[in-house]
Structure 1
Amino acid sequence: MSNLKFNPRNLILLLMILVITLFRLLVTFNSDELQFANFSSIGAVALFGGAYFKDHLKAFAFPLISLFLSDFILANTIFSKYSNGFLYEGWYWTYLAFALMVLVGRVLLKKINVVSLLSSTLTIVFIHWIVTDFGVWFQNPSYTQDLAGFWLCLERAIPFEIRFLEGTLIYGTLLFGAFELLKAKYPVLKLQTQSV
Structure 2
Amino acid sequence: MAHLKFNPRTILLLLMILVLTGFRLLVTFNSDELKFANFSSIGAVALFGGAYFKDNLKAFAFPLLSLFLSDFVLSTTIFSKYSSGFLYEGWYVVYFAFALMVLVGRLMLKNITIANLLASTLTIVLIHWIVTDFPIWFRNPSYTQDLAGFWLCLERAIPFEVRFLEGTVIYGAILFGAFEILKAKYPVLKLQTQKV
Q: Taking structure 1 as the reference length, what is the TM-score of the superposition? A: 0.97
User: Aligned AA for 1:176?
Assistant: F
1:66 is matched with: 66
Mapped partners of 2:24, 2:6: distance in 1: 30
1:139 is matched with: 139
Matches within 5 A, 1:76-87: 76-87=76-87
Q: Give aligned-pair identity as a percent.
A: 82
75-84 or 30-39: bigger deviation: 75-84
143-152 or 15-24: bigger deviation: 143-152
2:128 is matched with: 128
Q: 1:48 touches 1:176 (CA, 8 Å); kept in 2? A: yes
User: Aligned AA for 1:93?
Assistant: V
Displacement of 1:6 in angstroms is 2.5
Displacement of 1:5 in angstroms is 4.3
Mapped partners of 2:5, 2:23: distance in 1: 32
1:115 is matched with: 115
Mapped partners of 1:75, 1:29: distance in 2: 12
Mapped partners of 2:3, 2:41: distance in 1: 37
Q: Could you say what secondary structure the match of 1:167 adopts? A: helix
Q: Could you say what secondary structure the match of 2:61 adopts? A: helix
Mapped partners of 2:62, 2:195: distance in 1: 17
Displacement of 1:4 in angstroms is 6.3
Q: 1:104 touches 1:123 (CA, 8 Å); kept in 2? A: yes
Query: Where does the alignment leave 5 or more consecutive residues of structure 2 unmatched?
Result: none
Matches within 5 A, 1:1-196: 5-196=5-196
Displacement of 1:195 in angstroms is 2.0
Q: 1:8 touches 1:188 (CA, 8 Å); kept in 2? A: yes
Displacement of 1:141 in angstroms is 1.9
User: Aligned AA for 1:84?
Assistant: S
List 4+ stretches of structure 1 deviating above 3 A: 2-5
Length, aligned pairs only: 195
Mapped partners of 2:45, 2:122: distance in 1: 15
Query: Where does the alignment leave 5 or more consecutive residues of structure 1 unmatched?
Result: none
Q: Closer, same or farther in 2 for the Cα pair 1:8/1:139, shift >3 Å?
A: same
Mapped partners of 2:141, 2:71: distance in 1: 26
Q: Could you say what secondary structure the match of 2:40 adopts? A: coil
Displacement of 1:99 in angstroms is 0.3
- The two structures, once aligned, show a CA RMSD in angstroms of 1.2
User: Aligned AA for 1:182?
Assistant: L
Q: Could you say what secondary structure the match of 1:139 adopts? A: coil
Mapped partners of 2:152, 2:97: distance in 1: 20
Mapped partners of 1:91, 1:142: distance in 2: 21
Q: Taking structure 2 as the reference length, what is the TM-score of the superposition? A: 0.97
Q: Could you say what secondary structure the match of 1:31 adopts? A: coil
Q: 1:76 touches 1:85 (CA, 8 Å); kept in 2? A: no
Displacement of 1:136 in angstroms is 1.1
